Chain A
Amino acid sequence: MRKQIFLLSSALALLALASVPAAAQSTSSEEGKTDKNWSAPETPWGDPDLQGTWTSDDTWGVPFERPKQYGTRRFLTEDEIQQREKRVEQSQEFIDKGGPAHSPAVAELEAKEKGETPPPAQGRYGRGVDAAPVPGHWGEFARRASPLTSQVMDPEDGHIPPITPEAAKLLAEKQEMRRKQDSYVDWSLYDRCITRGIAGSIIPVIYGNGLEIVQAPGYVSIRYEMVHDVRIIPLGDKLEHAGSGYRSYMGDAIGHWEGNTLVVDTTNFLGKTAIGVNGDFGPPTSEALHTTERFTRTGTNTIDYKMTVDDPFTYTAPWSYEFPITHEAGYQLFEYACHEGNMAMRNMLSTARMEEAKKAAAAAKQ
């Protein structure tokens, strides 16, 4: 009996901690928050006001899963933050100056003209053209050093729980498809300009991390720049999800307020999107996926965001990731009409077919 009371009171204490965005719990940086006299704004109809454009740019560069050296530490030390600040400054300089004067293509070309064979450019993301595919300073970077050691915060070691054997099989199948390039289905839902899913739409990447929240009595809506995705979240305590026979990539969302926190419960997924970068890194989720998101405004320019992932078909335990999203003066969303301009899909497919034809012709000659 005593053990039960202890567990219950511990659980309640944890719940109390979790629902209050205390400074120790919040992922928003101190610089992002305003003074102690700040109080959460409300809409004219009395709901907490989350409206505006928000971006996860500041979390670009924070590893999704936690590097082992940090153990169970959620936040960087002052020294570590200073190191990160240096890199943030470097990226600002990169935007201002544009990085190296020439593309690696020039060195390769010069060597070629001399009859030499240079090693192709090497980069973290590939060789040759993949080392430097586009002008990097066109990207978008963190404006401040995030204090986070990782985006995954729960389990406490910052690592996603092991995936199930079924999910591992689907992941392997997906990776095989990416190698094949036989058909448009072999590319990601992002490359096909379909969707990045709700997690992939907020996990930061090198550009396009913006979203916009618009509220009305009874609703919160979120529109994401990439890939012009949108969610309409009706609010209420007794709302029901759509029937299980209707499914979608972005899921069916229902919201309610817990104090100043918007809690969004989403089900009815088609699966297929991954909880990772661009909705493609990691195993595809399943129809069993059930997500819980929490949006808490912590200042004029910051919202704490957290998603708890529960997909027993894919992961052996629920897990969560969190980070702040910030409002930046002058930051607005622009149309991202992806499918309409997706010339790369035809170009990549035609190149794959051309190479096959070359190989077949060469083989036929032997």
Chain B
Amino acid sequence: MRNSLNPIILAAACIAAFGMAVPAAAQSGGIPRTAAGKPNLTGLWQAFGTADWDIEDHSAEAGPFYQLGAVGAIPPGQSIVEGGDIPYLPAALEQKKKDYANRWKDDPEVKCYMPGVPRATYQPFPFQIIQSQKDILFAYEFATTNRLINMGKPEEAAVDTWMGTSNGHWDGDTLVVDVIGFNGKPWLDRAGDYTSDSLHVVERYTMLDANTINYEATIEDSTMYSRPWKISLPLYRRREKNARLLEFKCVEFSEQLLYGDLVKKTPDSK
């Protein structure tokens, strides 16, 4: 982008316009960099599109509650899966179809359970990256989910978890995050694309410019898929003035669903 402005003035203008702290280190190719020369991913990011509804191609569709009309309907979307379809093994595809049929009851997202990786990346909520000179924090707005990317010596997973154990390193200007130790409970989307505890995800975050990250994730699980497969989508920096991570603690929105049958009945209640 041609720009006659001095980079220092441009940086100052960015600070003034967006209230963001832009590191003093020189920007190259428009990408902010840390003092160590790595791309600086610190910021508030969000995916667009409807991958959380369904990571494969999907048409517009009525939602589960006609009372919500258009507001409760499912928007259309194009696949973020390279090649279009998830390469399910036959038995896994049968299970996916069962999960799809029961999705409003069984999708862990409905219960406000943590989304796992990569789903946390493309839920319709922003997330904050805090990139220190050592490790990197990802704080997702949905359910206050968060994980620390260990940038030191890779660690094994002591236990299986919802968000897995993340070990990261730089491959040139790409942050590569290897995630293992999943408990097999998250889904990849609302369309019944479940996971197993053999899941292995390798993420790649590459800044295309100061406000865009190209996100890729390779998903591997030989018990479910005939081969490793990949998703990719852009992530956009939230640039509103004073944009900040807000709080979406959704447990309270799921309690009636999870426990309502055990609540003491009063004469007024159904």
Tell whether, in the assembled complex, residue B185 and residue A340 are in contact, meaning their CB atoms are under 8 Å apart: yes
Interface size class of B (residues with CB under 8 A): 35 or more
Given contacts A215-B132, A232-B130, contact A192 B251 (CB under 8 A): yes
Question: What are the residues of chain A within 8 A of B23 when measuring CB–CB?
Answer: 45, 217
Q: Are B262 and A228 in contact (CB under 8 A)?
A: no
Say yes or no: B139 contacts A221, CB within 8 Å. Answer: yes
Q: Which candidate, B2-10, B96-104, B143-151, B230-238, is the interface stretch facing chain A?
A: B143-151
* Contact A339-B139, Cβ < 8 Å, known A194-B251, A232-B128, A353-B262: no
Residue from B135, B136, B258, B263 whose CB has the most chain A CB atoms within 10 Å? B263
A333 engages B161 (CB within 8 Å): no
The reply to whether A240 and B242 contact each other, CB–CB distance below 8 Å, is yes
Residues of chain A contacted by B185 (CB below 8 angstroms)? 340
B208 in the interface, Cβ–Cβ < 8 Å? Answer: no
Q: Residues of B contacting A337 with CB < 8 Å?
A: 113-114, 161-162
Q: Is A242 part of the binding interface, using a Cβ–Cβ cutoff of 8 Å? A: yes
Which B residues, 80 to 108, have Cβ-Cβ distances below 8 Å to chain A? 108
What's the interface size class on A, roughly? 35 or more
Task: Give Cα distance in the complex from A232 to B146, angstroms.
Answer: 11
Known A-B contacts A51-B132, A216-B130, A339-B112; A230 and B144 likewise in contact (beta carbons under 8 Å): yes
User: Which A-B residue pairs are the 7 nearest by beta carbons?
Assistant: A218-B21, A248-B247, A349-B262, A182-B264, A335-B161, A216-B42, A44-B35
Instruction: Name 13 extra pairs, CB < 8 A, besides A51-B134, A216-B40.
Output: A45-B23, A45-B35, A195-B144, A214-B132, A216-B131, A218-B21, A230-B139, A234-B21, A235-B21, A250-B247, A337-B161, A345-B259, A346-B262
Taking Cβ atoms with an 8 Å cutoff, the residues of B that contact A are 19-21, 23-24, 34-36, 40, 42, 108, 111-114, 128, 130-137, 139, 143-148, 158-159, 161-163, 185, 242, 244-247, 249, 251-252, 254-255, 258-259, 262-264
12 contacts between A and B (CB under 8 A): A45-B23, A183-B263, A223-B137, A235-B21, A239-B19, A239-B242, A250-B144, A334-B158, A337-B162, A339-B251, A345-B258, A349-B259
**Chain A residues near B (Cβ < 8 Å):** 43-45, 51, 182-185, 192-195, 212, 214-219, 221, 223, 228-230, 232, 234-236, 239-240, 242, 246, 248-250, 252, 333-335, 337, 339-340, 345-346, 349-350, 352-353, 356
